[in-house]
Amino acid sequence: MSQILIKNGRVVTAVDDYYADVLVDGEQVVQIGKDLEAPGARVIDAKDRLVIPGGIDPHTHMDMPFGGTTSADDFETGTVAAAHGGTTTIVDFAIQTKGESTLKGLDTWHAKAEGKATIDYGFHMIVTDMPVERLPEMTKLRDAGVTSYKLFMAYPGVLYVDDGTLYRAFRKAGDDGTRICMHAENGIVIDEIIREAVADGKFEPKYHGLTRPTRMEAEGVHRAIAIAEVAKVPLYIVHLSCHDALEEVKRGRARGVNVVAETCPQYLLLDQSWYEREGFEGAKWVMTPALREKWNQDSLWQGLAFRDLETIGTDHCPFCMKDQKELGRESFTKIPNGAPGVENRMSVIYDAGVVKGRISLNRFVELTSTAAAKAFGLFPKKGTIAVGSDADIVVFDPNRKETISVDNPRTHHMNVDYSAYEGHEVQGWTDVVLSRGRVVISNGTLETKGGGQFIKRAGVGELLR
């Protein structure tokens, strides 16, 4: 297979920062050093650019049936958009149909992704019920490379499971050396608050935010940590959105519970006032947890800097305004929950984090790639640049500025008719992307489509070979 030589770049990982050339042979990095030569290799000049590990987005929902419709990006469009934004691996969520085998759910998601993806992907399994007789399936999932599960305290009647189910699944996941991801929000109480709002004739999108108090997220986080502590399983709180919930994570970690938490760009950059936009526009940001009061953002940035928050996923779950978000025009309760973002993550976090001086360059790499690789059994094949690791590499221009817009062909490749960051100016842009040694994006243009593979992930604390 052919060689690629990335020359003159500044190589940045979660811990390193130096100038060097990187030689790729086939799918892997084979040499890093000064003034490397490789006759016949394709040369990529990375002068004045950063050479960083491809982004890992541990939280996406491609082709997901939800809220009476299906998320607008499938594995074809969503992974191309992710690649444009500098992400080379996603961990998406397969779903168990309630009452059916989780293994059948996995087959369904393999069929959705196989042959379509441009970047590599793994699956978490969303567990919607877990009677005792089905527990052995979890070991089979682990052996198939699905080493994490998501369970929901939210969405009663849809994805919600009770505390007994949580405990059973937590115990088994812990015994198997796998990880639990938790959507931690008290959906039962929230449904009562929603019922009160609807009875009072409150139907506009802004009531999505007003019916989901941060205390109900904090309660869910507290409960999930307590159950994980007793069940002895490593826990991962997904899409943590607010100060109150973060305080619960800090308390759990302070007493030694193995809990890692993820936040998302939307909670760091957008806020509850977005729901006040004219007419139905607020529907664009109807997602769960909801956008919060702006002051929460300072706590989240501090959590990222001080390592109480360890990863940044997008929770990419796009629904078009036309025909999809519109399902909720008469009532916020019917707006499909979710927003697009897989393409925007690296640039908006680089800009708001590194350029604005909130996090270091190394921490940026750690938060957007390395930490997710370590949490989800992808390291060191993914999440770093080292001899022997997959050549998932981004050549990133730290100076280039762009204005994100659905109408800007350089900034929007997601299959959705709006951008959650419309008009947002960023500094920091993805120039070139290698996915396992294939040049997928070059000068911001798609060069190679397809070729993404399912990655069988390792268990918690194991290295992926």
Q: Which residues bind Zn ion (CB under 5 A)?
A: 183, 315
Cα gap 110→114, rounded to integer Å: 6
Task: Report if residue 211 touches ligand URP, rule: CB under 6 A.
Answer: no
- Which one, 183 or 457, has the nearer CB to Zn ion? 183
Cβ atoms 183, 261 nearer than 8 A: no
Which is closer to ligand URP, CB of 59 or CB of 381?
A: 59
d(CA 415, CA 418): 9
- Which residue is listed with tokens 């961990």? 91
CB of 28 to ligand URP, least distance (A): 33
Choose the contact partner of 287 out of Zn ion, ligand URP, none; CB within 5 to 8 A by kind.
ligand URP
How far, in Å, CA of 120 to CA of 258, rounded? 27
**Number of neighbouring beta carbons within 10 Å of residue 386:** 15
CB burial class (10 A; 0-12, 13-18, 19+) of residue 41? middle
Least distance between ligand URP and beta carbon 61 (Å): 5
Nearer to Zn ion by C-beta: 5 or 90? 90
- Whichever of 249 and 286 has its CB closer to ligand URP, that residue is 286
Q: Which is nearer to ligand URP, 105 or 459 (CB)?
A: 105
Closest by CA to 367, choosing from 308, 297, 310, is 310
Footprint of ligand URP on 329-368 (CB under 6 A): 337-338
- Do 246 and 271 touch, CB atoms closer than 8 A? no
Distances, alpha carbon 32 to alpha carbons 5, 42, 430, 454, in Å:
10, 16, 21, 27
Name the DSSP letter for residue 239. Answer: S
- Closer residue to ligand URP in complex, CB, 150/168: 150
Of Zn ion, ligand URP, none, which one does residue 338 interact with (CB within 5 to 8 Å by kind)?
ligand URP
Residue 105: CB minimum distance to Zn ion, A: 16
Binding site partner of 169, from ligand URP, Zn ion, none, Cβ cut-off 5-8 A by kind:
none
Is residue 183 a contact residue for ligand URP (CB under 6 A)?
yes
How is residue 88 written in tokens?
A: 């080379």
Tell me the angle at which helices 163-175 and 214-231 cross, rounded to the nearest 10 degrees: 50
Footprint (CB under 6 A) of ligand URP, residues 42-81: 61
Q: Smaller CB distance to ligand URP: residue 20 or 238?
A: 238
**Contact yes or no for 238/59 (Cβ under 8 A):** yes
Q: Which does 337 bind (CB under 5 to 8 A by kind): Zn ion, ligand URP, none?
A: ligand URP
Q: Is 71 or 368 the residue whose CB approaches ligand URP more closely?
A: 71
Least separation in angstroms between CB 8 and Zn ion: 39
Name which position in 20, 218, 233, 287 contacts ligand URP (CB under 6 A). Answer: 287
Q: Cβ closer to ligand URP: 49 or 208?
A: 208
Nearest-approach distance from CB 84 to ligand URP, in angstroms:
22
Q: Is 185 in the site for ligand URP (CB under 6 A)?
A: no
Alpha helices in 273-424 (DSSP H): 296-305, 345-349, 361-365, 371-375
CB-CB contact of 450 with 117 (8 Å): yes
Instruction: State the Cα–Cα distance between residues 252 and 245, nearest whole angstrom.
Output: 11
What token pair was written down for 294? 């702006």
Our CB check for Zn ion shows the closer of 126 and 373 to be 126
Instruction: Kindly determine how many residues on this chain lie close enough to bind ligand URP according to the rule CB under 6 A.
Output: 8
* Partner that binds at residue 220, options ligand URP, Zn ion, none, CB closer than 5 to 8 Å by kind: none
Q: Could you tell me if 224 and 237 are in contact, meaning their C-beta atoms sit under 8 angstroms apart?
A: yes
Instruction: Map residues 10-49 to x or -, x wherever contact with ligand URP holds by CB under 6 A.
Output: ----------------------------------------
**What are phi and psi for residue 206, nearest 5 degrees?**
-60, -25
Which residues, in sequence order, are CB contacts of 462 under 8 Å at separation 6+?
A: 177, 377
The residue written with tokens 């997959």 in the block is 390
Q: Which is nearer to ligand URP, 102 or 288 (CB)?
A: 288
Partner in contact with 172, chosen from ligand URP, Zn ion, none, beta carbon below 5 to 8 Å by kind = none
Taking CB under 6 A as the criterion, the residue among 77, 96, 118, 288 binding ligand URP is 288
Nearest approach, Cβ of residue 317 and Zn ion (Å)? 6
**318 touches ligand URP by CB under 6 A:** no
181 in contact with ligand URP (CB under 6 A): no
Q: How far is the CB of 120 from ligand URP (least distance, A)?
A: 21
The reply to whether 317 sits near ligand URP by the rule CB under 6 A is yes
Strands 438-442 and 445-446: antiparallel
For 415, residues 6+ apart whose C-beta sits below 8 A from its C-beta are: 72, 73, 74, 77, 78, 81, 318
Q: Residue 445: which residues within 8 A CB-CB, separation 6 or more?
A: none
- Which three-class secondary structure state does DSSP give residue 154? coil
Binding site for ligand URP (CB under 6 A): 61, 183, 287-288, 315, 317, 337-338
